[in-house]
Structure 1
């Protein structure tokens, strides 16, 4: 995530991260020097929750791109 900020030469870029074993999904973000991990892990047993959070992350990314950050 830090490499993404550096590659884009923008420490203000909010970088979202997703880690998955395939069964368990975890989400996080890096805003400047602050790393925040979502307090819950999501299981593929409840795909609506995983897909809902993926939709949220992708919407945030799209909004950031459209705003020119």
Structure 2
């Protein structure tokens, strides 16, 4: 497959992220569609970010909801 075992091990324990290169190699090896592991990585990264930013995200109002956008209550 051309990916060092150490890299796979680091990915498994969360010390390294999936790259496009690793995704393509893993997908080819495992018979999955290209991008599968990148989508998993993005979902994981998003979940971690949501947890870290939870309080800050609660204070962000949607862009189009409010009088400052020309809407009247």
Q: TM-score surpassing 0.5?
A: no
> TM bucket by the smaller chain?
0.3 to 0.5
TM-score with structure 2 length normalisation? 0.35
Larger radius of gyration: 2
More helix by share: 2
More strand by share: 1
* Larger RCO: 1 or 2 (CA < 8 Å, sep 6+): 1
